[in-house]
Amino acid sequence: MTGKTRDGKGSFGRVSRRQFVAGASALGVAAGLTPFGSRQAMAAGEVKVLNWQGYGTDEKWALEAFKKATGLDVVHEYYNSESEMITKLQTNPGAYDVIVTNSAWNDRASELGVIQPIDTAQISHFGDLNPAFRDSDLLGADGKVYGVSWVWGITAVAYSTEVFKETPKSLEALWDAKNAKRVSFRDDAIEAVSFAAIATGQDMNHPKDLAKVKEKLLALKPNLAMLWSSEDDWNKQFQAKAFDISIYWSGSALRSKNNFKLPVGFVVPDEGAVGWFDGLAIGKDAPNAEGAHKFIDYMIDPTFYVEWATKVGAPASANNAAMGALPESDDKTLYSDQAAIKRLQFMAPLTDEERQAYSDLWAEVKTEFAK
């Protein structure tokens, strides 16, 4: 019975965006005119959320506060990968109210007709959202808003501050012979290809020279101690000193440092790193669309965000007001470092063919690692 179930392998950072700063105008107001079905406005006092587990929407204190304010209960269902999220949406029409989609998958969901346009007039904090995310064409289609930008983050390099007395500023540290057997990557094809592309000076979304990417990844072999599969796995192995330097997610790195008191440093290397952002969507035929709008509004509320970020550890909020309300902290320093943000490449949606090519390439490289 073991080994047949999915283990904890997620894909936090697979987010995309053609360009960080899209020149889009504020179309939130126009989208506000979208007709909004009142059919089930009086549906039961429940909001059904589809999300990763432990990712903001299911914090107990938050749900209690939300219930107090609106009288609505929130129930959850979880997914383990974006493609499974799409499958769930397709095979359970009308089952979900709020869905956390990242910008690489929001388009696909709206194309498939499994999410509905959002009435932004009902989202009181919509105007405070960072326009770069809010107006991104990746969260909308045909002039309608299909996703309310929620949080964004960075996938970059985390290292042990005990081992590295100086911040490893270059991505090359991962390939440095000094770090033989001390490096970890996530077992994820797209992340691996992205970082090898950045390290070889290519466009990380559509690297022209895949042979170079492969060569770079193969060169990792003597340095690689393990491949991690989940934040939990990362923390346990880092704590046990299984590796010293690794690709990691910003929100998780802050959690490791602040909550688990691990000696973790996090750096956006000179060569660049990966940026991503997530949105909140409403399911097609949502049983409680009104409640869904309320819940989304609560999720981008600065009060919720500040508590989430300080109590639990969170990615950066897409709400400027929420970031402004955040007390001075590692989080704030990291997410307001404009020079570092400029170095990020935000991931673009990939075609199925690209996804398959990266997956095959990574499988081939892993096969070499295992030899």
Partner 1 sequence: MKNFADAGIRFYLILVLVFLYLPILVMALLAFNKSPLYALPFEFDLVWFKALAENDRLLKAGLNSVLIALANTVIATSLGTMAAVAFGRYTFRGKTMMQALLFPPIAIPWLVIGTAMLVFFFWIGRAIGYPGIARGLHAILLGHVALSLPYVIFVVGARLNDYPKALEEAAATLGATPWQVFRRISVPILAPGVVAASLFAFAVSFDQFVISYFLAPPGVTTLPVEIYTSIRKGFTPEINAISTIIILVSMGLMLIVARFYRFGGERSGNE
Partner 2 sequence: MTPTTRTRWAILGLTGPAYLWLACTIFLPIAAMLALSFLDKSPLVPKPASFTLANYGAFFGKPFYWSLTRWSIELGFWVTLFSFLIGYPAAYALAKRVKGRWREAIFLLIVLPFWSNALVRIFSWTMVLRPNGIIDLGVQSVLPGAPTVDLLFTYPAVIIGLVHSYLPYMILTCYIALQAIDDSLIEAGRSLGANKLTTFRRVVLPLSLPGIISGSALIFVPVIGSFMEPRILGGTKGATLGMNIEEQFTVTANWPLGAALSFILLAIVLVIFGMLYPFLRKQSGAA
Footprint of partner 1 on this chain (CB under 8 A)? 1-2, 4-10, 12, 46, 48-50, 52-55, 75-80, 87-88, 90-93, 95-96, 229-233, 235-236, 239-240, 252, 255, 260, 262
CA-based angle 122:128:130, to the nearest 5? Answer: 120
Residue by residue, DSSP assigns 194-244 as HHHHHHTTS-SSS-S-HHHHHHHHHTTTTTEEEEE-SHHHHHHHHHTTS-S
Report DSSP letters for 250-292, one per residue.
HHHHHHHHHTS---EEEE--TT-EEEEEEEEEEETT-TTHHHH
H-helix or E-strand spanning residue 8? none
Distance CA(192)–CA(42), nearest Å, equals 47
Measured CA to CA, the distance from residue 126 to residue 239 in angstroms comes to 40
Q: Which is nearer to partner 1, 289 or 340 (CB)?
A: 289
Per partner kind, with CB cut-offs from 5 to 8 A, the member of partner 2, partner 1, none near residue 48 is partner 1
| Cβ 141 to partner 1 shortest distance, Å | 25
Task: State which residue, 328 or 352, has the beta carbon closest to partner 2.
Answer: 352
Closest distance to partner 2 from the beta carbon of 47 (Å): 25
Residues near partner 2, by CB under 8 A: 1-9, 11, 80-81, 83-84, 86-87, 90-91, 112, 187-190, 221, 224-227, 229, 233, 236-237, 240, 242, 352, 355-356, 359-360, 363-364, 366-367, 369-371
* Nearest-approach distance from CB 245 to partner 1, in angstroms: 18
User: Is 258 within 8 Å of 242 (Cβ atoms)?
Assistant: no
**Quick one: what does residue 370 bind among partner 1, partner 2, none, with the CB cut-off 5 to 8 Å set by partner type?**
partner 2
We find the least distance from the C-beta atom of residue 127 to partner 1, in angstroms, to be 29
For residue 92, the partner it binds in partner 2, partner 1, none, with Cβ less than 5 to 8 A by kind, is partner 1
> Is 20 or 78 the residue whose CB approaches partner 1 more closely?
78
Interacting residues of 176 by C-beta distance below 8 A, sequence separation 6+: 223
Nearer to partner 2 (CB atom), residue 188 or residue 278 = 188
What tokens does 250 get? 């910003």
**3-state class of 361 per DSSP?**
helix
* CA dist., res. 328 & res. 128, Å (int): 20
- Complex with partner 2: residue 47 or 348, whichever CB lies closer: 348
Tell me which of partner 1, partner 2, none is bound by residue 54, counting a contact when its beta carbon lies within the kind-specific cut-off of 5 to 8 angstroms: partner 1
Please give the backbone phi and psi of residue 339, each rounded to the nearest 5 degrees, phi first: -65, -40
Sign of the CA dihedral with 359 first, then 364, 369, and 370 last: positive
Residue 117 backbone class (left: φ over 0; alpha: ψ -120 to 50; beta: rest): beta
Residue bearing tokens 């045909």:
142
Partner touching 78 among partner 1, partner 2, none, CB below 5 to 8 Å by kind:
partner 1
12 binds, among partner 1, partner 2, none (CB under 5 to 8 A by kind): partner 1
Tell me which residue has tokens 């904890």.
8
Minimum CB distance to partner 1 smaller for 90 or for 333: 90
- Provide the minimum distance between the beta carbon of 75 and partner 1 in the complex, in angstroms, as a whole number: 3
Phi, psi of 267 (to 5 degrees): -140, 140
The minimum distance between CB 258 and partner 1, in angstroms, equals 13
The site partner of 50 among partner 2, partner 1, none (C-beta below 5 to 8 Å per kind) is partner 1
- The CB-of-362 to partner 1 minimum distance in angstroms stands at 18
Q: How far is the CB of 107 from partner 1 (least distance, A)?
A: 23
Name which of partner 1, partner 2, none residue 339 binds, using a CB cut-off of 5 to 8 Å depending on partner kind. Answer: none
Pick from 333, 347, 215: nearest CA to 272:
347
* Nearer Cβ to partner 1 (26/363): 363
Which listed option, partner 2, partner 1, none, makes contact with residue 225 (CB within 5 to 8 Å by class)?
partner 2
User: Least distance in Å: CB of 242 to partner 1?
Assistant: 12
